Amino acid sequence: MTEPALISMRGIVKRYPGVTALRDVELSVRPGEVMALVGENGAGKSTLLKILAGAARADEGTIEVSGVVRDIQAPRDSQACGIAVIYQELNLANDLSVAENIYVGREIKNRFGLVDFRAMERGAAALLDSLGVTISPQQLVGDLNIALRQMVEIAKALLVDARIVVMDEPTSSLTEEEVETLLELVRKLRSNGVSVIYVSHRMREIYEIADRITVMRDGAVVGVCEASTTTPNDVVQMMVGRELVDLYGVRSVPLDETAAPALEVKSLSSGDLLHDVSFAVRPGEILVLAGLIGAGRSDAALAIFGAAKRSGGEILVSQKALALRTPTEAMDAGIGFVPEDRKHQGLFLGLPVRENISSASLRAISRLSIVSRRRDRDLAAHHSSQLGLRLSAIDVAAGTLSGGNQQKVVLARWLARKPRILILDEPTRGVDVGAKAEIYQLIRTIAAEGVAVLVISSELTEVLGIADRIVVMREGYGVGELNAADATEKRVMAMATGVEGDVS
């Protein structure tokens, strides 16, 4: 194809204090093409999108749209170039109707200068119709599911005649069916001559929809490939930059299959969220709870940790049934919990790393309620150096650290308590590959020390990479258990989605 590129980013460099986020990045998209942009978290995808959207400025490089160099300084410049970015977190007003959302900032007015709702509803209906979506323009956005909200966002983009639609992980919170609808829509956009930049981690979708794939790693483009002549494995290889096996490490100490479980969950139930979930973790074992987002895995973790109510079932720690009504009781029973959402559940972002680390160990470093500043410092220093955090970082606010280092701070908090059972909910989310490898290594080490480790993960490769055993959950039920040796991506996915038999 010799068609000129619709958009072409050349030699893009972006530096943040101390880090070069993008190094000489090239990205070009032809008209009517779906370009997938892939890379591990931290590879620079979001920064690149921000520059394209006018939310950040490149330090070097040019952006050409239809062969003309454009200076994109602010979101409105980007929009003027026909670029529409649909972020993971949608920009919609939930209390307004679909039509009002689509026309936000471009309201149609009647001759009295008042908003003409009728005309807006007619326009919105026509637009949604052209996308093959059946949503009433009068419906409140808050009443729609996430997939439909995305459709509204896309319709909003098309209203301003976007020629390039950028979608940032649009399917991360969609069900299988919703994903299908979205992909159908992307095909429709393409056939209308709109170009799509599609950011995703899911190889299956990418190979279903993309014409070409741009792979990024560590702030640079490591390759652009045709979807028709490559396999998902090639792409993953490029993304990670080495054999996957190394990333997850291997078990160093043989697992004692006869040991009594350190944690046993029997028929755990919690309202509509959890139904009759049972599993057990032995000392030294890594058990992974797999499943789709919303399958109830985090709810199970919160219930075990005493942070969510249980309506039934038993939790046994070292074969003793315990009530575990509050996190404090769970902690006293030797349980540690690294929650899913680092920013909202894990860290005290504005407080020093030191205080973050010792926050769950205050009793151990204080006498008569008075915190020993020396022991506070020693504890933080010891555990941060163990995790490869720099000592100079311990007085810095936790919020200033990178994702990987933030996760290490939360891990350090729990390791400082020497737990016998450690629950890790999505421990590598938003963490770059290097830190990922370190976190897996750490999980291996603590398991080898005899800690029972329960990991929740939505990434299939991660599930298969570190698990000794896998329990799959779906819609609040435990639907199956697999030994690592018998598990394949297909089997886990089939169980997680409830599709029996062979799934491709």
Partner 1 sequence: MTINEVTAKKDPASAGAGAAVPVPERMTPGQRFRLRVRKIVGAREATLAGVVVLLVVYLSFASPYFLTAGNLTVVGRQIALALIISVGMTFVILIGGIDLSVGSTVALVSVLTGEFMVTIGIPPVLAVLFALLGGAAVGLINGVINAYVGIPSFVVTLGMLAVARGLSLGITSGSTISGFPPEFLNLGQGSALGVPIPVWVAVVIAIVAHLVLTRTTFGRHIYFVGSNEEAAKLSGIRVRRVKIAVFVISASLASVSGILETARLSVGQPAAGNGYELLAIGAAVIGGASLFGGVGGILGTALGTSLLLLIQNALILLGISAYWQQVFSGVIIVAAVALNMWRRQRK
Binding site for partner 1 (CB under 8 A): 16-19, 218, 240-242, 247, 305, 307, 326-328, 330-331, 337, 339, 344-351, 355, 359-360, 362-363, 366, 369-371, 373, 388-393, 395-397, 399-402, 404-405, 413, 432-435, 437-438
Nearer to partner 1, 86 or 360 (CB): 360
Contact 14, 62 (CB under 8 A): no
Nearer to partner 1, 9 or 240 (CB): 240
DSSP 3-state assignment of 267?
strand
Contact 14, 190 (CB under 8 A): no
Nearest approach, Cβ of residue 428 and partner 1 (Å): 13
- Alpha helix segments (H runs only) across 387-457: 403-415, 433-448
CA distance 304 to 284: 19
CA distance 425 to 437: 16
Read off the tokens for 234: 């090639």
Nearest approach, Cβ of residue 434 and partner 1 (Å): 3
Nearest approach, Cβ of residue 354 and partner 1 (Å): 11
Contact 285, 325 (CB under 8 A): no
Contact 358, 373 (CB under 8 A): no
Q: How many CB atoms lie within 10 A of CB 108?
A: 15
- Type of residue numbered 396: V
Nearest approach, Cβ of residue 339 and partner 1 (Å): 6
Contact 98, 152 (CB under 8 A): yes
Nearer to partner 1, 261 or 404 (CB): 404
The secondary structure of 117-132, three-state, reads HHHHHHHHHHHHHHCC
Angle at 487 (CA atoms; ends 482, 491), nearest 5 degrees = 95
Nearer to partner 1, 172 or 345 (CB): 345
Nearer to partner 1, 41 or 66 (CB): 41
Exposed, middle or buried by CB within 10 Å (0-12, 13-18, 19+), for 290?
buried
Contacts of residue 434, Cβ cutoff 8 Å, sequence gap at least 6: 404
Contact 423, 454 (CB under 8 A): yes
Nearer to partner 1, 41 or 181 (CB): 41
Angle at 73 (CA atoms; ends 71, 76), nearest 5 degrees = 100
Nearer to partner 1, 187 or 375 (CB): 375
Nearest approach, Cβ of residue 387 and partner 1 (Å): 11
Nearest approach, Cβ of residue 120 and partner 1 (Å): 36
Nearer to partner 1, 117 or 348 (CB): 348
CA distance 10 to 25: 6
Nearest approach, Cβ of residue 277 and partner 1 (Å): 20
Nearer to partner 1, 252 or 369 (CB): 369
Nearer to partner 1, 313 or 346 (CB): 346
Nearest approach, Cβ of residue 389 and partner 1 (Å): 6
Nearest approach, Cβ of residue 401 and partner 1 (Å): 6
CA distance 278 to 265: 5
Nearer to partner 1, 70 or 377 (CB): 377
Nearest approach, Cβ of residue 192 and partner 1 (Å): 41
Nearest approach, Cβ of residue 436 and partner 1 (Å): 8
CA distance 141 to 151: 11
CA distance 306 to 404: 27
The DSSP letter of residue 486 is G
Nearer to partner 1, 8 or 384 (CB): 384
Nearest approach, Cβ of residue 385 and partner 1 (Å): 10
Indicate the angle between helix axes 176-191 and 146-159, nearest 10 degrees.
10
Q: How far apart are the first and last CA of the chain?
A: 31
